[in-house]
Amino acid sequence: MSNPTGRGLSRQGVDAAFVADEAQKSHLLLEAQLLRAQQQAEAAADKLVEAAMIEERLRERCFTMGLREKAFVHGFSAASCWAQAGDFHHAIGVCQNLLAHPDLPTRLRHRVAAYAKILCARRAQWYEELVVHDGE
Cα distances from 86 to residues 12, 14, 69, 100, 106, in angstroms, run 34, 31, 26, 23, 27
SS3 11: coil
Alpha carbons 2 and 36: distance in angstroms, whole number: 35
pLDDT band at residue 1, thresholds of 50, 70 and 90? very low
In this prediction the pTM is: 0.85
Alpha carbons 61 and 64: distance in angstroms, whole number: 5
pLDDT band at residue 128, thresholds of 50, 70 and 90? confident
5-62 residue pLDDT tens = 345 766 777 788 888 999 999 999 999 999 999 999 999 999 999 999 999 999 999 9
- Statement: residue 66 has pLDDT above 50: yes
Mean pLDDT of the chain: 90
- What is the domain partition of the chain in residue ranges? 16-130
Using the Cα atoms of residue 33, residue 38, residue 41 and residue 43 in order, give the sign of their dihedral: negative
pLDDT, residue 78, reads: 98
pLDDT, residue 37, reads: 97
Mean pLDDT of 115-130: 92
- CATH code for the domain defined by 16-130: 1.25.40
Cα R_g (the chain), whole angstroms:
17
pLDDT band at residue 88, thresholds of 50, 70 and 90? very high
Dihedral, 90, 92, 93, 95 alpha carbons, nearest 10: 130
The per-residue DSSP string of 57-106 comes to HHHHHHHHHT-HHHHHHHHHHHHHHHHHTT-HHHHHHHHHHHHT-TTS-H
Mean pLDDT of 97-116: 97
Q: Report the run of H or E that residue 44 belongs to, with start and end.
A: helix 41-65
pLDDT, residue 6, reads: 44
